[in-house]
Structure 1
Amino acid sequence: MSLIPKSHPRAKSLLIREKLVEGFDNGLVAKEGLLAQGRGEAFDYLLGEKTGKAAKQAIKAAAAQLLVAKLPVISVNGNIAALCPKQIVKLSKQIKAKLEVNLFYTNEKRKLSIIKTLKKNGASEILGSKTTSSKKLPGIDSARRIVDKNGIFVADVVVVPLEDGDRTMALRKAGKIVITFDLNPLSRTSQTADITIVDNVTRAIDLLIIELKKLSKKNQKSLQKIVDNFDNKKNLRENVIQIKNNLDRRAKIA
């Protein structure tokens, strides 16, 4: 990984790029994943490259939802494995959620590389590689329709960081509660998920882990109230307003 000076004004963003390039070189990230990062980075600019109030509200709702879940599963793709494998494993242990590798641009070699990375960072059981456990998720034609019968197929809550809209819609139709991280509040994923955290996953996942620790002391009734009081559509609108306000401020100083 190349040396990025801490004094660089965009050091964090450049470090994310480097992690993804390294992930690509190590067989974790697809070429298309690099392109997706560029799109997300553009929205991060618009959001001010910080976790806003609306994102924090969504993180709290996500934490409460995960704590009341009976069978939570965290779906992992190449970008997530490259960017925050330690945090994903920590999150899975914190809420006793299964990890499942699920890829749009799939191949067995890349799956094995992701599994190896997750195990290197402390994961034990990782689903998604055994054909004997495969099931097809109805309503989707991509490779992501293949899920594990002991994981996403039976989960009540699915965390889908850096998701594609088709599978989010299919998961919702299958009766799953979907929590996603998406920097674009206008995407199909954001609009379709139950809880959308409009934030950079490298920032938000640490905040989610902290929030889970805080809320773990609350009873199930209090947690469910937090979930019930969360309105994803309203939250997305607040994120769009945040982008508008940032652009208005920029326009005044340009």
Structure 2
Amino acid sequence: MTIPDNHPRAESLRIREKIIKGMHEKVVAEAGLIAHGRGEAYDYLLGEKTPNYAQKQQEVAVAMLLTSKKPVISVNGNVAALCPKEIVQLAEQTGALLEINLFYRSEERVKAITSVLEEAGAKTILGIEPEYYETIEELSHLRRIVDIRGIYSADVILVPLEDGDRTMALRREGKKVITIDLNPLSRTSLWSNVSIVNNVIRAIPEMIEDVFKLKNNNSDELKDLINRFDNYKSLQETLNFMSLRLRDLAEGKLEDPTKNLGDIKNE
């Protein structure tokens, strides 16, 4: 589909097309379209921009990745379809491993996502070789399958667009979890050590910028940044931002796009 640059929702439509294309190429599960639409609705509450609170969340997440002994970035279909080059670059800059982990898992999808990541420059991809498979016993669905070299033995895991039950299971395994989820009330957000309430399309590139800002900081400075962070207080700040924005719109900041319609007709 050709999207005209002057369309008022051009960028949003381009992102949707990436998801649709990914579904046709078996990268994205059908349910991934529903998840994307739900996230887009929450993004409206943010004004489709990165708020200050999210910038703080992203900085702490990067600090956690940089101080990790074995960081892993978990990749699902939506992430692979939306920002493959960026997720590969973030892994390279933080020293994190990339691992494919899917709820709707099939060999066809694993191969499709592997191909996308390789085209984006990924040199090593975990979660694709059965001889290295282990399981998270608490889970009964296919996301229980993890790579012994990656998620199974990681200390910090970035899980963009994650399932809540796997986040809970990873926390119970003693792992630190960073998530990117536009819903601040999801189980994923509530159970993570660091919840980034932002659109993954913005969050990943901004986290790459944060790597360059923070990578020269010493370990003590990065750990201090992490220790001062409280995920629940951060989520409260997120909800406060959303509620204040809605109140501002309700009390008069919502612009009427039709107010000059009569003048246009009379010209």
Cα distance in 1 for partners of 2:85, 2:143 equals 24
The equivalent residue for 1:120 is 119
Identity of aligned residues (%): 51
Cα distance in 2 for partners of 1:189, 1:86 equals 24
User: C-alpha displacement at 1:45, in angstroms?
Assistant: 0.7
User: C-alpha displacement at 1:250, in angstroms?
Assistant: 1.7
Query: For the Cα contact (< 8 Å) 1:138–1:174, is it kept in 2?
Result: no
Cα distance in 2 for partners of 1:117, 1:158 equals 21
1:164-219 Cα deviation digits (max 9, x unpaired): 10000000000110011000000000000000110000001111000011100100
The equivalent residue for 1:160 is 159
Paired amino acid for 1:195: V
Contiguous gaps of at least 5 residues in structure 2: 255-267
TM, length-normalised to structure 1:
0.98
Cα distance in 2 for partners of 1:250, 1:104 equals 38
Partner secondary structure for residue 159 of structure 1: strand
User: C-alpha displacement at 1:148, in angstroms?
Assistant: 0.4
Partner secondary structure for residue 229 of structure 2: coil
How many residues end up aligned between the 2 structures?
Answer: 253
User: C-alpha displacement at 1:96, in angstroms?
Assistant: 1.3
Asked if residue 12 in structure 1 is aligned to residue 3 in structure 2, the reply is: no
The equivalent residue for 1:242 is 241
User: C-alpha displacement at 1:59, in angstroms?
Assistant: 0.5
Partner secondary structure for residue 147 of structure 1: strand
User: C-alpha displacement at 1:7, in angstroms?
Assistant: 2.3
The equivalent residue for 1:145 is 144
Cα distance in 2 for partners of 1:63, 1:101 equals 20
Cα distance in 1 for partners of 2:63, 2:101 equals 24
Cα distance in 2 for partners of 1:236, 1:7 equals 35
Partner secondary structure for residue 153 of structure 2: coil
- Bigger radius of gyration, 1 or 2? 2
The equivalent residue for 1:33 is 32
Cα distance in 1 for partners of 2:137, 2:171 equals 11
The equivalent residue for 2:210 is 211
Cα distance in 2 for partners of 1:22, 1:10 equals 18
Cα distance in 2 for partners of 1:147, 1:187 equals 23
Contiguous gaps of at least 5 residues in structure 1: none
User: C-alpha displacement at 1:138, in angstroms?
Assistant: 2.7
Asked if residue 48 in structure 1 is aligned to residue 62 in structure 2, the reply is: no
1:218-245 Cα deviation digits (max 9, x unpaired): 0000000000001110111111111111
TM, length-normalised to structure 2:
0.93
Cα distance in 2 for partners of 1:194, 1:233 equals 9
User: C-alpha displacement at 1:40, in angstroms?
Assistant: 0.4
Paired amino acid for 1:10: R
